[in-house]
């Protein structure tokens, strides 16, 4: 058996059955081997940033790795931004990166590069397969490392793939959960929460699923503590009677206001809140100077079990989700404002929906408007590298084909990875893309106003997308996705009703009122 076949059979044997790919010559032996591995589903994308973002979305919803297959260092480079987001989300992904044959690498061919050096910036594990006989085992190791929570990158020289003598392997059972010092950390956190001083729980990661949220809410209620979640959670289960959790604000001034007066913050699979960027005369660490933080989750810990232990320590009951109390906004009419968009989505969001949120400034109100909707999942821009929303929606739809996916997408960010629409059409994915079309990089206009009193001139013109206006409906149709442009709230409601009643990809270009 050649190395390529061993790699693919190892993926399938270890539970990796989906691969988002844009391959080239160095990976052609893996492509040729696909016919002999029917358990692996390859999905073609037109840009590597779509492949890596889709693998991220798949991993967030499936809870297991997808693979990517990318062409040498430049292919990896094209996918780097969404691998950065995946690293921040701790999404399990197995990157398979082709490399020149070992004997060819010394000649510095035009596509030669430091693949490992590039990969290390976004990967928790990087390895190059050095022999055909070991390629199955090293593939299994890559899968195991990805399952521990992050990006694993395996570099595959072409001759390792085409040579015979390989055997597939299977990922070994992962090591048991370790909890060194957890009891002591939990005791300190419990003492802080019982102190009567202003306290909060800040939850993230695995704590944002149903059971984790219910436990965290019970602890907060028992102790009179506030309950926050990360600004950009990888996946948040919400609606349908689940406890509501307040997200930390993006702007540092707003976040420090939320955290004001706190003396204790218990971090549950979350990091100490810091400002997204540095600003003159503003702090980087957003907790009050006198606030003590307590990190109760260690590497490989079972987050729900940690919360159970903390709840037991505090005498907090283990509660089930409360009864669903729909609090949908009314269907809006009139001009298309950001509030109208939020209300329309909040009024109509289907039960079981998955929202991939890259709405940025124009979509900021939608999170609040959907709090009382039926049960759904919310996926956010974890690492801040724009161009994530449409690929993540694509991967989520592959992972959950029976659920409606709503891609809430800013117009500027959409242009980074618009090619995702083609894959959605090719695969018949049930994704409704809502373009929030204010014809500007509005987030950068906001940042400009925060550092400079000048509101016009050359700087402002760099954020204007109106000359010429972009026809997203025409672009979508060119890639096989039908769509409609709407310019009133009534038209948006009608378009959403149509989109949610049908299957398959659809795009709504929402022209915001000036």
Give per-residue pLDDT as tens, 224-249: 999 999 999 999 999 998 999 999 99
What's the pLDDT band for 180 if we cut at 50, 70, 90? Answer: very low
What's the pLDDT band for 453 if we cut at 50, 70, 90? Answer: low
Residue labelled with tokens 């929606």: 393
pLDDT value for 248:
96
pLDDT value for 181:
46
How many Å apart are CA 157 and CA 38, to the nearest integer? 24
Lowest mean pLDDT among 172-181, 202-211, 485-494: 172-181
Using a pLDDT cut of 90, give the percent of the chain over it. Answer: 84
What's the pLDDT band for 174 if we cut at 50, 70, 90? Answer: low
Tell me: the pLDDT tens digits for 105-151? 999 999 999 999 999 999 999 999 999 999 999 999 999 999 999 99
Tell me: the pLDDT tens digits for 314-364? 999 988 777 777 789 999 999 999 999 999 999 999 999 999 999 988 888
What's the pLDDT band for 441 if we cut at 50, 70, 90? Answer: low
pLDDT value for 461:
64
How many Å apart are CA 252 and CA 163, to the nearest integer? 55
CB atoms within 10 A of CB 345: 27
How many Å apart are CA 309 and CA 313, to the nearest integer? 6
pLDDT value for 438:
82
Q: Could you tell me where the beta strands, DSSP code E, fall in 257-381? A: 264-268, 292-295, 354-358, 376-379
pLDDT value for 466:
74
**Residue 301 pLDDT greater than 70, yes or no:** yes
Domains delineated in the chain: 3-162 (3.40.50.970), 182-314 (3.40.50.1220), 338-511 (3.40.50.970)
Using a pLDDT cut of 70, give the percent of the chain over it. Answer: 93
Residue 180, helix vs strand vs coil: coil
| Average pLDDT value for residue range 396-402 | 98
pLDDT value for 300:
80
**Residue 172 pLDDT greater than 80, yes or no:** no
pLDDT value for 177:
46
Query: Which two three-digit tokens encode residue 36?
Result: 């002999």
**Residue 451 pLDDT greater than 70, yes or no:** no
Tell me: the pLDDT tens digits for 4-25? 999 999 999 999 999 999 999 9
**Residue 30 pLDDT greater than 70, yes or no:** yes
Give the Cα-Cα-Cα angle 270, 272, 275 (nearest 5 degrees). 115
Query: Which two three-digit tokens encode residue 117?
Result: 């050096």
| Average pLDDT value for residue range 479-496 | 97
SS3 for 82-97 is HHHHHHHHCCCEEEEE
Give the Cα-Cα-Cα angle 130, 119, 76 (nearest 5 degrees). 95
């Amino acid at each position: 058996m050649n190395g390529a076949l061993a790699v693919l059979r190892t993926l399938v044997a270890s539970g990796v059955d989906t691969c988002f790919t844009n391959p080239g010559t160095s990976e052609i032996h893996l492509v040729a081997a696909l016919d002999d591995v029917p358990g692996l589903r390859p999905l073609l994308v037109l840009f590597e940033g779509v492949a890596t973002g889709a693998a991220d979305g798949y991993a967030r919803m499936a809870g297991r790795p997808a693979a990517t297959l990318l062409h040498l260092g430049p292919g990896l480079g094209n996918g780097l931004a969404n691998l950065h987001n995946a690293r921040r989300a701790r999404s399990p992904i197995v990157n398979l990166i082709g490399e020149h044959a070992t004997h060819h690498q010394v000649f510095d061919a035009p596509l030669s590069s430091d693949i490992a050096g590039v990969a290390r910036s976004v990967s928790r594990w990087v390895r190059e397969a050095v022999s055909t006989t070991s390629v199955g085992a090293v593939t299994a190791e890559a899968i195991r490392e990805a399952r521990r929570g992050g990006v694993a990158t395996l570099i595959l020289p072409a001759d390792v793939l085409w040579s015979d003598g390989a055997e597939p392997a299977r990922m070994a059972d992962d090591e048991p959960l370790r909890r060194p010092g957890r009891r002591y950390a939990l005791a300190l956190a419990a003492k802080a929460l019982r102190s009567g001083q202003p306290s909060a729980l800040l939850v993230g990661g695995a704590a944002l699923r149903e059971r984790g949220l219910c436990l965290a809410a019970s602890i907060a209620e028992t102790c009179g503590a506030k309950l926050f979640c990360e600004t950009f959670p990888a996946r948040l289960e919400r609606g349908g009677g689940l406890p509501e959790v307040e997200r930390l604000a993006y702007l540092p001034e707003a976040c420090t206001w939320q955290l004001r007066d706190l003396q204790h913050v218990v971090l549950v699979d979350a990091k100490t809140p810091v400002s997204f960027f540095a600003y003159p005369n503003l702090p980087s660490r957003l907790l009050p100077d006198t606030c003590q933080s307590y990190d109760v989750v260690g590497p490989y810990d079972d987050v729900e079990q940690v919360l159970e232990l903390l709840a037991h320590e505090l005498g907090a009951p283990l509660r089930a989700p409360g009864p669903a109390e729909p609090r949908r906004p009314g269907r809006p009419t009139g001009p298309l404002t950001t509030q109208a968009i939020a209300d329309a989505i909040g009024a109509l969001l289907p039960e079981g929906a998955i929202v991939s949120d890259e709405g940025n400034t124009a979509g900021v109100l939608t999170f609040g408007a959907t709090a009382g909707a039926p049960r759904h999942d919310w996926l956010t821009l974890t690492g801040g590298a724009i161009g994530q929303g449409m690929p993540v929606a694509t991967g989520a739809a592959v992972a959950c084909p029976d659920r409606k996916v709503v891609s809430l997408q800013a117009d500027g960010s959409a242009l980074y990875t618009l090619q995702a629409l083609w894959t959605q059409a090719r695969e018949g994915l049930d994704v409704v893309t809502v373009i929030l079309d204010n014809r500007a990089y509005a987030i950068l206009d906001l940042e400009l106003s925060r550092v400079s009193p000048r509101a016009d001139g050359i700087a402002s013109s760099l954020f204007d997308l109106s000359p010429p206006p972009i026809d997203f409906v025409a672009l979508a149709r060119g890639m096989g996705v039908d769509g409609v442009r709407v310019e009133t709230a009534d038209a948006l409601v009608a378009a959403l009703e149509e989109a949610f009643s049908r299957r398959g990809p659809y795009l709504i270009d929402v022209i915001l009122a000036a």
